[in-house]
Amino acid sequence: MIKLIYCITKKTGLTDSEFFNYWRNIHGPIGARIPGLRRLVQSHRIAIGDNGPPDYDGIAELWFDDMRSLAAARQSAEWKASTEDEANFINPTRVACVLAEEHVIFDLERTHSM
């Protein structure tokens, strides 16, 4: 599996509630239509009351079988629609991206199912 991981920050002027609602309920279904996508996970920041602003407001993980699947997805109309929609809720100057291959070191669910 190949994972494309985005660390994202909300667009200036959006409240946390507006940002998380839009990301999950509007943008999420748009991204879920990307062809070849095996899994889409959003991790929403939880406020813990520390002093500084968060580095990012959330993490998106897009899972694909292999690089060929990812490359094909990036050429699709659905990818283009998802990318264009990001302007509605993401600060484009505060995004980090990592392309990764996952290596599971420990998984309690797998341990219990064996």
- Average pLDDT over the chain reads 93
Task: Provide the residue ranges of all domains of the chain, joining segments of one domain with +.
Answer: 2-113
For 30-50, what is each residue's pLDDT tens digit? Answer: 999 999 999 999 999 998 777
pLDDT per position as a tens digit, 19-30: 999 999 999 999
CATH architecture of 2-113: 2-Layer Sandwich (3.30)
> How far is the C-alpha of 114 from the C-alpha of 105, rounded, in Å?
16
Q: Say if CB 81 and CB 34 are below 8 A apart.
A: no
pLDDT for the residue 54: 85
Taking residues 83-100, what's their average pLDDT?
97
Closest among 100, 104, 103 to 2, alpha carbons compared:
100
Kindly report the pTM of this predicted structure.
Answer: 0.89
What pLDDT does residue 114 have?
60
